[in-house]
Amino acid sequence: MIPVRKVVCGISGGVDSSVAALLLKKKGYDVLGVFMRNWDIADETGHCSADRDKDDAEYVCQRIGIPLQEVNFVRHYWNEVFSELIEDYQNGLTPNPDILCNKSIKFSIFYDHATKNLGADAIATGHYARTSFGEDLKYYQENKRVRLLKAFDAGKDQTFFLSQVPQKSLQRTLFPLGGMTKNLVKKIALHAGLNHIVKKKESTGICFIGKRNFQDFIKDYVKPKPGNFVDIETGKVVGTHAGIHCWTIGQRCHISGLHTAYFVADKDMKTQNILVAPSTNHRSLFSQTVLTNPPYWIHSPPDQLYQENTFDCYFRFQHGKPLVKCTLTVSHKNCLIVSLEEPLRALTPGQFAVFYTEEECLGSARIIRPGLSLWSLNYNICKAQNLSK
């Protein structure tokens, strides 16, 4: 049993990480704030948002009375996250940079820096999540495995983004906000005099894109490969595009000269064609099965899954969406087949299938591809019936 005294808390300049650090200090921990610079290229206005965030982080730490250090992880972020992101887009996938960043940067490189270079007994972040060790970590017991639990505030729960976090790091991580609501966090910040931080607009979207249109951003990194938009019902070309890397499943396509609203149903890497559906709820956008890569289990693999080859749990592939009941089956090379209780829209290759029980985030696996859409299933049934006549 190792006592936990010094905690290194990631400070982003936002209200959540600020209150997390404040709460840790009030509980008697020796708190050091660390600002992580993961991206420092100026946006389209010539300003670097990381500089503004650093100023806010300094203001927070001065206000609550803790020291602040800055660490530069730009090279690591580029190698571990951004390069993989670009490769995925080139291959027609839609990656999740937040999950990749937490896995490779915040809970790997930052964790190692904090524990090995800064003498931290534990790290902390402003994520809305909990662990089976609780919100306080008085002692650290090496190799005692920990479970990742959903936050008290279901609307703010961020375990989705933590579904690939290494067990080693999680064992020595504190989530001070796990048992709080967002409103309470704001009240604590206001009471501490952090009015400017509370009023600050919450960051959304991908940090390195800024205010730019995604298609304007990605063309700087991926060579355009023009192709056609093809109506999935008629097989007719209804427009052209600059490359499948610019589009994701379920996205609306604003095709010049057409009044019909089309949505991406599928992408063909070989032909660079994008199949589009003529309505947002078209049956080609819905599937009830998913094939994934081998999963990462945060605490341990579910015994039932690998003993009986089937396991019932809950599924989501987009943060904030309702959990859906599912059944997992082990497939070839330890991949998973996910059978959903109800069809879901726009199940997207490259995204993560995240698995839950009622309280626990079990882990996740990258989606290889969805199963046949409701449109394809109906087409195959009709084709079989015609052949049998």
Active site residues: 101, 207
**Is the separation of the CB atoms in 375 and 315 below 8 Å?**
no
Output the CA torsion sign for 185, 186, 188, 193: positive
Distance CA 97, CA 34 (A): 21
Longest alpha-carbon distance in the chain: 81
> CB of 348 within 8 A of CB of 249?
yes
Say if residues 250 and 285 touch (Cβ distance below 8 Å): yes
In three-state secondary structure terms, 64 is helix
Q: At 20, phi and psi to the nearest 5?
A: -60, -45
CB proximity list for 147: less than 8 A, separation 6 or greater? 131, 132, 298, 299, 360
Helices (H), the chain: 15-26, 49-64, 74-77, 83-90, 97-101, 110-112, 167-170, 182-191, 195-199, 214-218, 303-308, 374-388
Degrees (nearest 5) of the Cα angle 275, 90, 251? 40
Q: What would the two tokens of residue 142 be?
A: 């090496």
Mind giving me the DSSP string for 252-310? EE--TT--S-EEEEEE-TTT--EEEESSTT-GGGEEEEEEEPSPEESS---HHHHHHS-
What is the Cα 231 distance to its own chain's centre? 31
* Segment holding 143, helix H or strand E: none
Nearest to 93, CA basis, from 211, 249, 327? 249
Question: How many whole angstroms separate alpha carbon 297 and alpha carbon 332?
Answer: 18
What is the distance between the alpha carbons of residues 315 and 325, in angstroms, rounded to a whole number? 6
